[in-house]
Amino acid sequence: MKKDLRRIEETLLQLNKKVPTLSTAPTPEPEIVQRPVSFDLHSKPPKAIEPEIASPPAIDSEPKPLNLPKLKTPNFTSHRNAANPALASTLLLEMKTIADNWQVELNQTLRQIQDLYLEGPIVDGWLESDSGHPLGDLSTLRHGEVDRLMSYIEEICATPIPGTKGAPKAGYRLCGINADGQRWSYPCPAEQIPSLSLAIARYHKLRQLLDRKQHLENRLTGLAETLVGLHSKMKD
């Protein structure tokens, strides 16, 4: 009897090993199929993509010299190209000196004109003999220099007066041209010839002084107009 029970137990044990029961048999786990994904759940956030900037081509630090024609180097002078602040002041001082000299000469000329009027009468004319010949050279009286006129007067004074002993008996006339261009003449007594000759010489000297006075006044006026225009430009 015991032997039979033992056989049964051994048979059951062998059956248990070959065929597991529902309670003890392990349940097979389903295989997990990993599918590929387009993103990583645990990956870091993507970085911003910086635009690519095309770098310029590398320049050779020592370029080859170009074969260009040689030009002559100009000579620059400092007084034309360099700024010279003192140049304007120097020019203004020189202009002031020149203008002052003109003004001094003009004042001297005016005083000479006044003194000439105080010396005696001034006559615009010439002396002629009654025969129609001028007393001396007519061009000397009308267009001569002051020194030649004074020599002419001394010659007249040394000439014997008509009507005196040793002098030719001839009369003289004072002649001239009026504003209308007409000739005029007056008899000239013999004793008045020296004084009239001096009066004629004063007139020619007066003409020279008046011409010089006009020349200086024109220079000063032109300089003043130029400076006024320059002063207006400097204010703009």
- Looking at every residue in the chain, the average pLDDT score rounds to 75
Residues with Cβ within 8 Å of 141's Cβ and at least 6 positions away in sequence, in order, are 126, 127, 134, 149, 152, 200, 204
The model's confidence at residue 168, banded by pLDDT at 50, 70 and 90, is very low
Tens digit of pLDDT for each residue in 98-125?
999 999 999 999 999 999 999 999 999 9
Decide if pLDDT at 219 tops 60. yes
The model's confidence at residue 1, banded by pLDDT at 50, 70 and 90, is low
Decide if pLDDT at 21 tops 70. no
Q: Edge to edge, what strands does the sheet with 172-177 contain? A: 126-129, 172-177, 183-188
Decide if pLDDT at 187 tops 50. yes
3-state class (DSSP) for residue 46: coil
Residues with Cβ within 8 Å of 130's Cβ and at least 6 positions away in sequence, in order, are 170, 171, 172, 173
Tens digit of pLDDT for each residue in 33-69?
555 555 555 555 556 566 566 666 665 566 677 677 7
What are the φ/ψ torsions at residue 71 (nearest 5 degrees)? -105, 150
The model's confidence at residue 4, banded by pLDDT at 50, 70 and 90, is confident
Q: Can you give the pTM of this predicted structure? A: 0.52
3-state secondary structure 60-120: CCCCCCCCCCCCCCCCCCHHHHCCCHHHHHHHHHHHHHHHHHHHHHHHHHHHHHHHHHHHC
Tens digit of pLDDT for each residue in 128-161?
887 655 555 544 444 445 555 556 555 655 555 4
CA 63, distance to chain mean position in Å, is 42
Give the other-Cβ count within 10 Å of 126's Cβ: 23
Residues with Cβ within 8 Å of 146's Cβ and at least 6 positions away in sequence, in order, are 201, 204, 205, 208
Q: Which amino acid is at 107?
A: N
